[in-house]
A = this chain, B = another copy of it.
Amino acid sequence: MEEQTFITRLDDRLDTAAYADVDASMNGLQVGTTNGHINTVAVAVDAAMATIDIAIERDVDLLLTHHGLSWGGIDRVTGREYAQIESLMSADIDLYVSHLPLDGHCQLGNAAGLADYIDLNPDSRTAFGELGSVTIGCRGYLDDSVATETIQSRLETLHTDDQSVQVLPFGPDSIESIAIVTGSGADWLDEAAATDVDAFITGEGKQKIYHEARELGVTVFLAGHYATETFGVRHVAEIIESWGVETTFINHPTGL
């Protein structure tokens, strides 16, 4: 596929323009030219030397990640930025980034993927996690209420290593309604409590979330920033495959 076509299609499919004002990430093509061809694509959570090195080994044309290199602009192309960009350029690999568009998208996004993973009833889901004019999470109901430990066990299967899922068990013993913001979502616990959910799932915590959860009476699962954010890029890989482009998922957990 021609690269310009590929990029335009992705921008459209992910509604990239709608997130431009609220996202510090420069979504879309971050490093590259638009005049080549895209035959193979690697997807990964993070753009970093670890994933770039694997992309080079796998000899792809483009790397698509959730976390990119430009957050409001690259001040200087030195140090880590030099090494990353130099590696991409010398291997002729372009970098396409989709941050908030891949969090909030109601079918493709990370929260949607995690909702599928824990069997939130699709018909019960609503947008959740307000950030300016967009939403970056989702909220819904299980078909039947389950014990806290059941959710915890399910979330622990996201991890291939021995990393545990941390639980702040301050909500009801039995959980039916759940709100999700993947990654670093602690700031949305208030919104979760205001919508009366039993539990809130996010990736990584902050110190303050402990007492908030305790006083709001909501159970919080900290399931891992990385672990909760592989869904989006893998969903996109499926779409890209359907366009006749070969894809590969680069898995590089951070333990965070």
Contact = CB atoms under 8 A, between A and B. Distances in A.
A212 interface: yes
Nearest to A89: B86
Interface string A27-48: 0111111100000000000101
A82 B211 contact: no
A205 B256 CA distance: 7
A7 to B, nearest CB: 10
A147 interface: no
A254 interface: yes
Interface in A193-215: 203-212, 214-215
Interface in A21-74: 26, 28-34, 46, 48-50, 67, 69-70, 72-74
A172 interface: no
A183 interface: yes
A211 B74 contact: no
A47 B121 CA distance: 38
Contacts of A184: 206-207
Contacts of A50: 211, 214
A85 B85 contact: yes
Interface string A226-256: 1000000000000000000000000000111
12 contacts: A29-B76, A30-B76, A30-B77, A31-B78, A46-B208, A70-B77, A73-B75, A80-B216, A184-B207, A205-B256, A207-B225, A207-B256
